[in-house]
Chains A and B, each alone.
Chain A
Amino acid sequence: MSVGSINRRTFTVGAAALTAGAVASPYVRRAGAQGAPIRVGVINSMSGSLAAYSQEGHPAFVYLIDKINAEGGIKSMGGAKIELVMADDTSQPARTATEARRLITEEKVDLLTGSLLSAQMLAISPVLDELQQPCLSVWAGGSKSPFLYTLGYHYDRGYAKSMADFAVFLRDKKGFALKTFTPCYSNYEAGQQTNNFLVDRMKKAGFEVLGEAPLDTKAQDQTPAMIRIRSMKPDLVMGLVTPRDGILMHQARYNLAYHNSIFAGGTGGYSDLTLWRDLSPDIAKAVLTRNLFAMTGFSASANISGMQKIVTELRDVAKLKLIGQSAIQSAQAARVVQRVLEAAGSRDKKALLEGFKKLDIKFGDPDLYLSKPSGLKFADDRLLEDGSAMFVQWMENQSQQVIFPDQFANAQPRAKA
């Protein structure tokens, strides 16, 4: 048919067919349930103050999802592929809730996930409750919704317990003279919550708690906090510190040449690979390799085969440049999404929630990338049953040695200098 032969009738019929096709296409797509992709909404903070987490983690997540699709998709759903629908919450929790609402009601996603730190988890929870949408958070330290599961460290049995256990390990097993302790933490919600539990645990373990030195998360310089620590002269300084506060804290420690306390804590502010770049190698070498131990869920040198394999794969196959804790945590999240979908066998919300409950990635499983001696399993509070983490010490060549727990350790803790 030439253009010239189009008359009013053929045009009307054609237009009607096109319109009908456009209107019906979503229904047609969903009707073919087995072949239709499984839509997974991903809310990340790609811009704003929390962007570092997502910008490191997202490429690893996408790589793993592409790999899962290439290996045949979700087999219990007839090989359905996973389709990611992205959203950026600009690091603002209220916008996390808005984006969740959009992805659930407009994009009709089957499952929701994303970096979702604790404040974002709190903001998104009412939306998940209202729309009854299952969701997996990569980082939140708690869950306020029965529809939200998280891979993040529990404030108490994750962060606080790991830190307190490490302090006892140093004192009782390695002979460090540790009697007094000063909490030094980023003064934001996870830092405060963790600190409350940590102080309790440290007191119970027999440490004398001196005054606190919270780090103002808006400060451009942490020298006042470091001067306060110096005035108290604690044997041990410990707490949850963000990467930004960690950089400023280590910088202040370097400027004041303060080395009389042992500094230990997590996670990003002590263990993040970017510390070396942001502090500059000379300063980093002076402060990170002396009287400092870092809590982390990931270290390339840990005696965990799954962890070492994924690091190699992300570096050599995916060609990722930044492979830190966020990358590994996000890669783990992709595997959890896969397992949950496989266990659910359908897009039904209740089945997906059952899938979360059935998750059980045992230690030694090649899909376990995190340092979890008891494997990956959700407890009744929807956080991981095993909240434990490792402690590492930095080497001058910017590598890490695992020193705690013994199971994953490949070195002894460096003596106080």
Chain B
Amino acid sequence: MRPDFYRTLLSPWPWLVLTVGAVMPLLLPNYYLHILTVTLIYAALASAWNIVGGIAGQISLAHSLFVGAGAMLSSALLVKLGVNMWLGMLAAAAVSAVIGALVSFIDYRFRLGHLSFALITLAFAEMAEIYVIGTDFLGGASGLFLPRDTGDITQFQFGGGRGAYWVMLGMTALCILVNLAILTSPLGYNLRSMRDNENAAQAIGVGLLRNKTLAMTISAVLTSIIGTIYARYLTFADPYLLASPVLTIEIVLFATVGGLGSAIGPALGAFLLAPVGEILRGQLGDKLPGLHYFIYGLVVIGVILASPGGVWSFIKSLGRRRS
């Protein structure tokens, strides 16, 4: 780990942001706390995806598979077999890790290009959704309705809105921290060298399979855990939301708008766009049907045109100009 990592960790800014974030549930009304919780979920998902998609440059569209595994498998184990959701979360994370490693192996074995990798991972995600919808144990198309959250932490219950928010705040911070740790470690250098030129990276001794597998496994495990928390928060594991490739598209959008490959960018993208989408729908949903989608699209286009390299790199360039 380079000194950068510790310098960032010891800087007052992350701690200030975390402290402000931690007191938000005491200040925000119910609806806005919910929006912030959902935003944190997307920020964490975008950060977890960034390890593969941003740092390693492999546009994985399979991440709904890991969210789905975390959400549907842990919920099914709880609802159908009575398995504690903590154990379910670990089991789902293990399954996700294995699938992630398998995807990496296929990528390595067949030396897939970026486009082929994206398409193959999309196919995995589609197959996973079909499998979930057709499997009774996983709730089928109906999904799974979880027991009410009574705040029993031993049962993976966090006491509703505030508790879930704090858990997601911690999870988002963890995902950003993992990104930062990877970026400042040899793994990060290896992944970036592979992203920029895979053949050259291999020529200088970077182990493609090992690094790809490591990145995908870390990303898959984090994504799966977020999926379990998301299902617990919603109290309803909906396969059409949690196992749908559309979810991955949203994650990729947030990460891209925020800034691929940086530790903070993907989360920043989610913080910019997720609340905008929710609030636009709330304010314009009773007007012309679909108007909020149209305006949301305009906002996304505007942000991308204003900062083609991502909002985070735009902010950094502003900072450099001022200094």
Contacts and interface: CB of A to CB of B under 8 A. Distances in A.
Interface of A: 46-47, 51, 55, 85-90, 92-95, 97-99, 101-102, 105-106, 118-119, 122-123, 125-126, 129-131, 144, 187-189, 191-193
Given A47-B289, A119-B143, A189-B140, A99 B282 contact: yes
B29 A51 contact: no
A283 B148 CA distance: 49
Q: Is the interface of A mostly helix, strand, loop or mixed?
A: helix
Interface of B: 29-31, 34-35, 38, 133-134, 140-143, 145, 148-149, 160-161, 234-236, 238, 240-241, 278, 281-282, 285-286, 289-290, 292-293
A410 B267 CA distance: 63
A98 B35 contact: yes
A118 B236 CA distance: 12
A101 B34 contact: yes
A271 to B, nearest CB: 22
Nearest to A42: B286
Contacts, number: 95
A87 B238 contact: no
10 contacts: A47-B293, A86-B285, A88-B292, A90-B281, A93-B240, A94-B241, A95-B281, A98-B35, A99-B281, A102-B31
Contacts of B133: 187-188
A88 B240 CA distance: 18
A122 B143 contact: yes
A102 B32 CA distance: 8
B293 A92 contact: no
A55 B145 CA distance: 29
A156 to B, nearest CB: 14
B281 A123 contact: no
Given A86-B286, A97-B234, A123-B234, A105 B31 contact: yes
A54 to B, nearest CB: 9
B145 A122 contact: yes
A125 B145 contact: yes
Contacts of B142: 118-119, 122, 189, 192-193
B236 A93 contact: yes
What are the 6 tightest A-B residue pairs by CB atom distance, in nearest-first order?
A86-B286, A88-B285, A189-B142, A126-B235, A46-B289, A189-B141
Nearest to B293: A47
A85 B285 CA distance: 10
A98 to B, nearest CB: 6
Contacts of B289: 46-47, 51, 55, 88
Contacts of B293: 47, 90
Contacts of B286: 85-88
B141 A191 contact: yes
